[in-house]
Amino acid sequence: MLLCKASGAIMKSSDMHPDDQLMLRAKLDQRAQFYPLGFPLQIATNSPDILSAVEQTWGSWTQAFDRPPLEMRVIVHLDGPVPPAEPVYRAQKHLITFTGDNANFAVCDLERGYIFSCVTPATVASGYFRAHLLETIAYLALDYQHVTILHAGCVVRNGRGVLLCGDPGAGKSCLSYACATNGWKLVSDDFSAILRQPRGRMVIGRPERMRFRSTAFELFPELVGQRSEFTQFGKHMFELYTGSLPQVQTARCCQAETLVFLDRQDSCSPELVPMPVEQALAKLEFDRFYWDPPIFEEHRERLMDLLARGVHTLRYSNFDDAIRILESLV
């Protein structure tokens, strides 16, 4: 939702005043407010291309939570290539940095919810900014302040959600899609945020898109024409927007009923095996950032609340068997 829109220009070295080499007084007259996962985020920048990029990412979200807004300032400056690799992340206490190269970087004060970034026009145009800076920074700030983010899919049936966890390649996205075309609703295929306050079982997902490895299209050939390719963390992935998939029903949030870890095998008898809570907790925390106390303890309490409802390993070799077992849980 735009608050103000004015013409802006890309900052060049020659534009900087000799007394403002740090760009402290850079004119950031392009402003907007968006709601990632339903939380307010205020953007200030000198480039309308940044607002367009954020609109593509969170333009369809509306406010769901009355919390102080995150503040993000982005300066588009200089000329230069897109960084050749993923950003390097480093953190101490409540400060975290994201470095693509000396012209594309960001820093975030997680406690204050304040984000500052500099990027080149090429980086914005390529999609690197959205995929590797914008989304990562905002979601980490929300993870620190308001939610507990898990690398897990989530599907819901009869108002009851099931979180789908597992190692890369375990089939989270494929099983999520199979469920969403067989009477379930998709909340997310690989990203689930557990609301920390008020305490409860609300899961917030990102149902507007799904991401697959290339092997998924052998299983679902009807998706081939819908895909767009991108690279994430050194891996070639394919992104699909669920708005163009009428066979997929979606929901942005649900109440979590239980959690399962996927164990897909070439051939096996389908079964649901209870998993010790301590083992499940170790698996979930291994895949997360470790914040300093007391934030770490808040996340652990939320995970323990969720795991107390039950956690299992789901062994399966075909989607029909897996879906049948998941239906028994809800």
Sequential pLDDT tens for the chain (330 residues)? 433 333 345 555 445 555 777 878 888 999 999 999 999 999 999 999 999 999 999 999 999 999 999 999 999 988 899 999 999 999 999 999 999 999 999 999 999 999 999 999 999 999 899 989 999 999 999 999 999 999 999 999 998 999 999 988 788 999 999 999 999 999 999 999 999 998 889 999 999 998 888 788 888 888 877 656 555 545 667 888 898 889 999 999 999 999 999 998 888 889 999 999 999 999 999 989 889 999 999 999 999 999 998 999 999 999 999 999 999 998
pTM of the model: 0.89
Cis peptide before 294 (omega within 30 of 0): yes
Q: Which tokens belong to 320?
A: 């029909």
Q: Which has the closest alpha carbon to 212: 200, 222, 198, 204?
A: 222
d(CA 143, CA 124): 24
Percentages of the chain per state (helix, strand, coil), in multiples of 5:
30, 35, 35
Residues of the chain with CATH 3.40.50: 149-329
Whole-angstrom CA distances from 148 to 25, 49, 144 are 35, 30, 8
Q: Which has the closest alpha carbon to 95: 78, 114, 81?
A: 114
CATH for the stretch 149-329: 3.40.50
Whole-angstrom CA distances from 289 to 93, 97, 125 are 12, 14, 29
Q: Which tokens belong to 241?
A: 């927007």
d(CA 321, CA 311): 18
Backbone angles phi, psi at 310, to 5 degrees: 120, 140
Cβ atoms of 264 and 316 closer than 8 Å: yes
